[in-house]
Amino acid sequence: MKGSLITSLAGVGLAAAATQSICDKYTTAVFKKNTPQNQEKLLTIVVNTAVIGNYTPGALNDVPGILAPGYFQGVYVQLLPYFDGELLSTNNGGSCGQSTNFLDGGGATPLTKNLPADNTSSNQYTLLTHLYEYFGVLLGCSAFGTSYVPYAGSTNLYEVHKFMALDSYEVGWFIQQVGLAATSLGVSAADATAVGAALTKFFDYRCLAPVSIPSTAPPAPQSICTDCECPLAADPDCSIYGAIIKPVPTSSASEACAPQQTEHCSSGNYGNGGNGGNGGGWGGNGGGWGNGGGWGNGGSWGKKRHH
């Protein structure tokens, strides 16, 4: 079934009124005036807080941050290796995952200054600005594109994340941090829950049918959760997804395409969706949540996130 995330967001009550999006509502609430500059500021603070945790004064709740290790539903999660180059998990358009440093623009320091990076040529800058742009679409910022660039990354988030082989705990941790970042700034629990429910619906199931995000984009596979542990979508189309390719540590690579574990799920087998693709997405030519350097040492890395 094809659809639009914006339509779904409206359907789960993210608009405060028929003509007001959640972005417009909270830009006005936080900054008093709903200007393009203030919308961009809101997106920047929400995304930066979700990534590195609390850094602004007066936060209403604690936010560990996407890059911090933690537990989601009792399972240990550590997403940092996808950012710090430890894993061959970035889709650069080839047939296997590559290592890309997505924290090469100053790490956490520029984010604490409400910046994406300390330079515009880094992978970090591309990743963070794509995140701002993407959430501008998701949250319905009415001034989107008037003072900052509309989302310029890939609209096929499966291709972006295909070499990460994320499970539902990892995707759930990411979504949870976005929600916590929002409520820390004053977004109501009901609105934050609605955002989380929509993100889960459109990204946290295996074999999701194509959907248009944003609504002007062609329908594309959007499953970010692709591990066999991920719940199968209610109306799945596994034929458009490739085999699961598990990322391996960068240290194990001795050739351009290091051998990587391939897996087919016994329930809802994947088809020949093809390797490579256009990469892109939130991390530019790489994609996904990145790989990068900084924010701690990443901890041990056994069978993915379990500790």
Nearby residues of 190 by Cβ (< 8 Å), 6 or more positions away = 13
Q: Name the pLDDT band for 20 (thresholds 50, 70, 90).
A: confident
Long-range residue pairs from 239-242, CB within 8 A, at least 24 positions apart, any chain: 239/271, 239/273, 240/210, 240/271, 240/273, 241/158, 241/206, 241/207, 241/270, 241/271, 241/273, 242/162, 242/270, 242/271, 242/272, 242/273, 242/274, 242/275
Lowest mean pLDDT of 114-118, 143-147, 178-182, 296-300, name the range: 296-300
Beta bridge partner(s), residue 21: none
Give residue 74's pLDDT.
Answer: 98
φ, ψ (nearest 5 deg) of residue 117: -170, 175
Label residue 146 by pLDDT band (50, 70, 90): low
CA 55, chain centre distance (Å):
20
As beta bridge partners, residue 20 has 17
Residue percentage of the chain with pLDDT more than 90 = 66
Residue 1 in this model has a pLDDT that exceeds 70: no
Q: What is the pTM of this model?
A: 0.82
Count of beta carbons in the 10 Å neighbourhood of residue 9:
23
Task: Give the pLDDT confidence score for residue 258 in this predicted structure.
Answer: 57
Q: How far is CA 278 from the centre of its chain?
A: 17
Residues in contact with 131: Cβ distance below 8 Å, sequence separation at least 6, in sequence order: 47, 51, 282
What does each C-alpha distance from 200 to 114, 118, 205 come to in angstroms?
A: 27, 32, 7
Higher local confidence (pLDDT), 159 or 148: 159
Mean pLDDT within 144-158:
79
pLDDT confidence band for 147 (50 / 70 / 90): low
| pLDDT at site 273 | 35
Q: How confident is the model at residue 301 (pLDDT cuts 50, 70, 90)?
A: very low
Q: What is the mean pLDDT of residues 284-306?
A: 36
Examine the pLDDT at 230 and tell me if it is beyond 60. yes
Percent pLDDT > 70 in the chain is 75
For residue 34, what are its two tokens? 């709903």
Counting other chains too, the contacts that 259-265 makes at CB distance below 8 Å and 24 or more residues apart are 260/88, 260/96, 260/97, 260/163, 263/165, 263/228, 265/206, 265/228, 265/238
Select from 162, 172, 160 the least CA-distant residue to 201: 172
Q: What is the DSSP string of 200-215?
A: HHHHSSBTPPPBBSST
Q: Which residues contact 47 (CB under 8 A, 6 or more apart)?
A: 128, 131, 132, 135, 181
pLDDT tens digits, 87-130: 999 999 888 899 999 999 999 999 999 999 999 999 999 999 99
Identify the CA nearest to 249 among candidates 300, 296, 174: 300
Residue 115 CA to residue 304 CA, distance in Å, equals: 31
pLDDT of residue 17: 45
Is the Cβ–Cβ distance between 101 and 107 less than 8 Å?
no
User: Tell me, what's the pLDDT at 19?
Assistant: 66
Q: Name the average pLDDT for the chain.
A: 82
pLDDT of residue 59: 96
Q: What is the CA radius of gyration of the chain?
A: 18
Least confident of 90-94, 136-140, 194-198, 282-286: 282-286
Asked whether the predicted pLDDT for residue 4 surpasses 90, the reply is no
Q: Give the model's pLDDT for residue 151.
A: 83
Q: What is the dihedral of CA 9, 14, 19, 22, to 10 degrees?
A: -110
